Homo-oligomer: A and B are copies of this chain.
């Protein structure tokens, strides 16, 4: 029993931190907020060279075959550096469903390219109903000869506009979890329209409208009608990934605020000497540390296939969603006016938190999942 990082993880963390401090400075984060693509192809390439896109992809598909525990360590650093771009979309939402449900051909076709940083992907799941559950999936896929024809609208799809392919969660029939089919869809297919959403976090989510989009039957991922099981698998990994990002983000917001509290002088003393500020910071570090360890537990349980996996994942997301919001709110409050200016960095963390708080279910959603699991 050891909650710390092992040697390999420690190395990964240190390397990633150094790398990102150099390659993903605050200036790049700001630039990408304004940038239409939202990521730097140059940084993308360099990250791929580190093997990060293939971190959890099997070795025979060109990956490093590490586990979610290592991905969590890396994503914590991503959150810390607010790395912009479609990394989670590609590595989790794109690669994981193919790893879980793909045919050998599909794996051979996509995974090595993802690992090499040559493909950008995402998953198109949520719709205007904004639900994470299977009954929210209404985008219709109809068989038409050797093809399927897709019609419907996806909303809040991360990074969709820069992808090469999307894993589209569609309904081929049935109700609820039954009758859901996944398709690997070429993002440049006729009939697909992207419109970027404007969000607090200035991340790149899109509305994606499908109008009679033809997808060859060969691009069905997994068994027709049985796609939801794969979505759930992806969702587990993606939820932990979101938590990891929040942990890093919270830690960095906290560190920045702590430094500010030590340096900012008012009434002839550092504001961090006031008990009210001290106690806020004490509360915040508990939130940060708590988020980290419950995220580690979730990642480990999922990796090891423990019975409590779903419980731990929902506990982690429920806690990290709320805790990170408290942390960044304290951060803003302690910074005062300076924290409100665009120029100073703390607001980047504050705004970005909202994004990951919501992704893959907010605290309410996961609290209810915890309650469901408790009844069993």
Binding site for B on A (CB under 8 A): 274-276, 279
Contacts and interface: CB of A to CB of B under 8 A. Distances in A.
Nearest to A277: B275
A260 to B, nearest CB: 18
A358 to B, nearest CB: 24
A309 to B, nearest CB: 32
Contacts of A279: 276
Contacts of A276: 275-276, 279
A34 B253 CA distance: 55
Contacts of A274: 275
Contacts of A275: 274-276
A275 B276 CA distance: 6
Nearest to A279: B276
A275 B279 CA distance: 10
5 smallest A-B Cβ distances: which pairs? A275-B275, A275-B276, A276-B279, A274-B275, A276-B276
A274 B279 CA distance: 12
Nearest to A274: B275
A240 B134 CA distance: 47
Nearest to A275: B275
A101 to B, nearest CB: 43
A272 to B, nearest CB: 13
A15 to B, nearest CB: 41
A81 to B, nearest CB: 34
A282 to B, nearest CB: 10
Nearest to A276: B275
A267 to B, nearest CB: 12
A169 to B, nearest CB: 34
5 contacts: A274-B275, A275-B275, A275-B276, A276-B276, A276-B279
A270 to B, nearest CB: 14
A240 B275 CA distance: 38
A279 B274 CA distance: 12
A160 to B, nearest CB: 37
A293 to B, nearest CB: 26
A286 to B, nearest CB: 16
A62 to B, nearest CB: 55
A306 B275 CA distance: 46
A279 B276 CA distance: 8
A330 to B, nearest CB: 14
A279 to B, nearest CB: 6
A135 B275 CA distance: 51
A276 B275 CA distance: 6
A74 B274 CA distance: 42
A121 to B, nearest CB: 43
A14 B274 CA distance: 41
A279 B278 CA distance: 13
A275 B280 CA distance: 12
A44 B265 CA distance: 61
